Structure 1
Amino acid sequence: MAQTSSTSQPVPSGTHHQVSRFVIIVSAIAAIGGLLFGYDTGVISGAILFIKEQFRLDSTMQEFVVSSVLVGSVTGAALGGLLGDRFGRRHMIILAGIIFGLGALLTAFTPNLTILVIGRVIVGVGIGIASFISPMYISEVAPKSIRGTLVFLNQLALTLGILLSYWVDYLFTNVSEGWRLMLGLAIVPALALALGMAKMPDSPRWLIMRNRGGQARKVLHQIRGTQNVDAELEEIHSSLATEGSSQWSDLLKPALRLPLMIGIGLAIFQQVTGINTVIYYAPTIMEFSGLKSAGASILATTGVGVINVLFTIVGSWFVDRAGRRPLLLTSLIGMAISLALLAVSFQLPQLASSLGVAVVIILMLYVASFAIGLGPVFWLLISEIYPLNIRSKAMSVATVANWGANLIVAMTFLSIVNALGRPGAFWLYAVLTLCSVVFTYLLVPETKGRTLEQIQEELKTHHLK
């Protein structure tokens, strides 16, 4: 299926989409949701070094504090699917910013461990909503010619959020109870997201789905920078008329089995290949390699964050040129090699004297590989492969699977290290990455150069029996 779908279909006459400056601004503001996602993902890696000392946490309790945000994320992803169609993409992004800001304040001013965990769960709800609503909104407002690049803005913002969190962690390393400032500063991007999205338009596709065609036309005029939007409106109306209304049970229909399998499969593989063990526990991994001070570990981790940003930019340049599948396959192969090298590095005693340097270099290779493909392409693909009438629900299911797998990985990493040893843990992630290569090669389609409506027609003819 993947091979036959890689040839772009011709674009119907009159459906050329203009690229306006305004659509880039809209996408950039929505991408602040990715910044929130990234900031909280990264900030806990440094904060946990100090939280564990203040509250005297063993490895199990460290996993619990780190993972508590993921419980909220699963909840937020599920709520986003339920409410995204009813209240619209824009309003849900605004809600995500408000929830995230409240949670950030609660974690910063927490009097005890219980309130800290509750605050982390609330933060997670905001992240869970924003993590898929933001790329979905961008996908629905973007012209097809640069849709991949614009959705990559969300991932770029995510990587910038991670890098920013590492800098903040380092800045407050020697400040008394600096972890409170690390967590509390997330209120700044949360407010920027909520206030910025209040000025943005609703998704034209959502407006049409809610029978508000007049408003949809005005929004398309605004974001396309042209009055010639009739063909695009007609294509959206036609696709929605064919799809009809949707129920959760529609996800099990034959035509949606393949897209659902792709979304859930990539969601799980994105996590079980180990990326968030690196993001959440990067300073801890640095300490494994011999960097003993918290400041040195966090500073080394910052280098990994820089690589994450730079290679996300590289991926954004290639995604609408080379396509989604080549980036995914290149990404996964690079990750598998990196994980194998990491396992070998911890396995060979003769590397002990230079282990810290080796681990930093290999982690950079691993993160670079993730950043050009699996990281952003997963979110891009799930925003593209589902029909409009059920997109919010389907993306919610994939996102719940993603956060659920994230939760399992985060809660088991230190335990797996204790059970299998450091080399064994990374060998396990390497094998799972090879499995994801096979999955991608066999099932994942190419969506470059098509409108969202063309993608739905393509997938209908290749669904699993």
Structure 2
Amino acid sequence: MNDASARPAAPRGAPPSDPPGSLTAITARLDGLPLTRLHLAILAVCTLGLFTDVAEVALSNALAAIFLAPPHSMPRGDLSLLLASVFAGGAVGAPVFGLVGDRFGRRRALQGTLALMAVGSLAAAASSGLTQLTGARVVSGFAIGGFPPLAATYLADVMPPRRRGAMLMLCAGIGFLGASAVILLVQGLAPSPPLGIAPWRWALILGGVLAVIGTILFALLPESPRWLASVGRAEAADRACGRFEDAAGLAPPEGPAG
């Protein structure tokens, strides 16, 4: 049988007077769920985004080595400006995207950071001069600063309490491998760059592609039910929470009688 009545009811833990979409009820419903495939899908997409985010930051180290050496031999002042551009953008992006996440939702804000990261990465890969490259890296930095705190907030919102810490650490642990991956990629392509394109440009292209993939995948995930409930969108919160309960094979609770 596939209907909801054939499945065990979701653990409630909230007073009967609380409707299914209230913040109290949503919190109790989410916290009572086991770890499901939907939780793991969210973890995977957040980890992909963090991997791309960290790789973008670490690429600055490769750019420093590349542009200091011949044939570029970039003046140290110009190089310092280029390297600082990512962190300057990140300092602004973190609080701005925090406000965006509170206003428009965690998932939408995460999509926004990755979409902007893709634009910045691909623009940097296609840049023809220092000014264009520095401007593109500022755009990337703006997104890079916003993604990690938003991803942590989203994961904390939806993960079961007993697995929350482990899931956050797993996301961070795998995501930070992006730093090693991008350095190894640049070094591996250096002896014979494909199509004659510089390795650092390939790294930016790949980062842009991964960011686009992450943007698309986030569209398939539910918004944080806690956030929806906290802004008074009870029906949407109930539906989003129902996706997690469905993934766990549980029937959503009924509203209070009368």
With structure 2 as the length reference, what TM-score do the two structures score?
0.77
Tell me how far apart the structure 2 counterparts of residues 100 and 125 of structure 1 sit (CA, whole Å).
8
Superposition pairs of residues 21-420 of structure 1, within 5 angstroms: 21-53=37-69, 54-174=71-191, 175=193, 177-224=198-245, 225-227=248-250
Q: Distance in 2 between matches of 1:98 and 1:72?
A: 15
1:18 is aligned to 34
Moved over 6 A (4+): none
TM superposition shift of 1:140:
0.4
Amino acid at match of 1:40: E
**Shift of residue 120, structure 1, vs aligned partner:** 0.5
Give deviations 1:265-304, integer Å, cap 9, x for gaps.
Answer: xxxxxxxxxxxxxxxxxxxxxxxxxxxxxxxxxxxxxxxx
Give 1:111 shift. Answer: 0.9
Alignment length, in residue pairs? 220
Change (3 A) 1:96 1:201: same
Equivalent residues of 2:125, 2:204 under 8 A apart: yes
Q: Deviations over 1:429-459 (max 9, x none)?
A: xxxxxxxxxxxxxxxxxxxxxxxxxxxxxxx
* AA aligned opposite 1:95: G
SS state at 2:140 partner: helix
Contact 1:101/1:191 (CA < 8 Å) preserved in 2? yes
Distance 2:84 2:249 in 1: 47
Shift in Å at residue 213 of structure 1?
A: 1.9
User: Deviation of residue 154 (structure 1)?
Assistant: 2.8
1:48 alignment partner AA: A
Secondary structure, counterpart of 1:185 in structure 2: helix
Contact preservation (8 Å) 1:17, 1:145: no
Q: Residues 97-156 of structure 1, C-alpha deviation per residue, up to 9 Å, x if partnerless? A: 110111111111111101110010011111112121111111101010100121123313
Unaligned runs of 5+ in 2: 1-12, 15-27, 254-258
The higher relative CO (CA closer than 8 Å, separation ≥ 6) is in 2
CA distance in 2, matches of 1:34, 1:62: 26
- Judge conservation of contact 2:57–2:179 (CA < 8 Å) in 1: yes
> In angstroms, what is the RMSD of aligned CA positions?
2.2
- Unpaired runs of 5+ in structure 1? 1-11, 231-465
SS of residue matched to 2:45: helix
The answer (yes or no) to whether the contact 1:39–1:161 under 8 Å persists in 2 is yes
Q: 1:38 offset after TM fit, Å?
A: 1.2
The percentage of counterpart residues that share the same residue type is: 23
* Residue in structure 1 matched with residue 22 of structure 2 by the alignment: none
Distance 2:233 2:100 in 1: 18
Q: CA 1:80 to 1:88, structure 2 compared with 1: closer, same or farther past 3 Å?
A: same
The question of whether the paired residues in 2 share the 8 Å contact of 1:55 and 1:113 is answered with no
- Measure the CA separation in 1 of the matches of 2:201 and 2:75: 20
Q: Name whichever of 101-110 and 153-162 sits farther off.
A: 153-162
How far apart are the structure 1 equivalents of 2:174 and 2:219? 19
Higher helix share: 1
CA contact 1:93–1:133 (8 Å) conserved in 2 = yes
Letter in 1 for 2:233: R
In structure 1, distance between residues paired with 2:72 and 2:99: 37
> How far, CA to CA, are the matches of 1:202 and 1:110 in structure 2?
35
Counterpart of 2:81, as a letter, is: F
Structure 2: how far apart are the matches of 1:87 and 1:157?
28
Q: CA deviation at 1:229?
A: 6.5
Q: TM-score, normalised by structure 1?
A: 0.44
CA contact (8 A) 2:57 2:86 kept: no
Task: Find the aligned partners of 1:93 and 1:179 in 2 and give their Cα distance.
Answer: 25
Residue 78 of structure 2 aligns to which amino acid in structure 1? Answer: M
